[in-house]
Copies of this chain bind each other. A is one copy, B any other.
Amino acid sequence: MEKEIGYITSLIGDPVRTNILWTLLDNKAYTATELAISADTSPQNISMHLNKLVKADLLVVESQGRHKYYRFSKPEVAYAIEAIGNLLPTEKHKKIVTNIDNSSIKYCRTCYDHLAGRIGVLITEALLKQKIIVENTNTYSLTKKGNIFFSELDVNIDDLKKHRRIFAKPCLDWSERKHHLAGSLGAALLDKMLLLDYIRRTKKSRAIVITSKGQKHLYEKFKVSV
């Protein structure tokens, strides 16, 4: 058994492969070249590493013309990477939070397929404060007010609940050390905010930019100023 586990840990343990997995954590698919740039290495090298990750069934690959798109094979991979992220030493972590250089990725990023970072945490806190969601042990559930709120946003709650996936749960954030909204409700909220152009994804990272339209609405709805 140790050998089997060692196989996976040694795969995750290489710096280039860690960079790949960390980049893919926003649940987007990236091409080999994009990942090579992100990991600052050669195409040959990234090809070798990606092959190992695919063979180990951590990633899946899809060919589109001359491009190959890589993404996680299953949510468990994202969970494991996030769980490792939560092991970051606290002092080092503080340094990151107070580091202004990468503030955009700090305040605003996605975690797998939902909003994370400072914005994710602030919005979640606002949802709790306004009693749109309530916290149980390790889950969130919607109040009546919450049902109205999300139906006004044109999110079909019943559809979400049909899925086998967890509906709404707190997810510990590595940068904020607080919880943000995860699960299918969290994913639906992110989708809707992207659709409404409150926020936009950036090309090369997990950073999210907030549009002026978004700023206005975030303040109106949640009293969140960014």
Interface residues, chain A, with chain B CB atoms under 8 Å away: 1-2, 4-6, 8-15, 18-19, 22, 56-58, 76-77, 79-81, 83-90, 92-93, 96, 102, 105, 136-139, 141, 166-169, 183
* Contact B89 A79, beta carbon cutoff 8 Å: no
**Of B2, B13, B136, B168, the contact of A10 (CB 8 Å cutoff):** B13
* Contact B4 A92, beta carbon cutoff 8 Å: yes
State the CA gap A87–B10 with chains docked (Å). 13
Nearest opposing residue in chain B for A58, CB measure = B87
Known A-B contacts: A9-B13, A137-B166. Give 10 more (CB < 8 A). A2-B15, A5-B81, A6-B15, A10-B13, A10-B15, A57-B89, A76-B86, A80-B80, A137-B139, A137-B168
User: In the complex, which residues of chain B have a beta carbon less than 8 angstroms from the beta carbon of A58?
Assistant: 87
- Least Cβ–Cβ distance between A86 and chain B, in angstroms: 5
State the CA gap A77–B169 with chains docked (Å). 20
Copies of this chain present: 2
- Least Cβ–Cβ distance between A154 and chain B, in angstroms: 23
User: In the complex, which residues of chain B have a beta carbon less than 8 angstroms from the beta carbon of A1?
Assistant: 22, 96, 102, 105
Nearest opposing residue in chain B for A90, CB measure = B57
User: In the complex, which residues of chain B have a beta carbon less than 8 angstroms from the beta carbon of A96?
Assistant: 1, 4
User: In the complex, which residues of chain B have a beta carbon less than 8 angstroms from the beta carbon of A11?
Assistant: 13
Nearest opposing residue in chain B for A85, CB measure = B5
Nearest opposing residue in chain B for A109, CB measure = B1
What are 24 A-B residue pairs whose CB atoms fall within 8 Å in the complex?
A1-B22, A1-B96, A1-B102, A2-B18, A2-B22, A6-B19, A8-B87, A8-B88, A9-B14, A9-B15, A9-B18, A10-B13, A11-B13, A12-B13, A76-B83, A79-B86, A80-B80, A80-B87, A136-B136, A137-B141, A137-B166, A137-B183, A138-B166, A139-B139
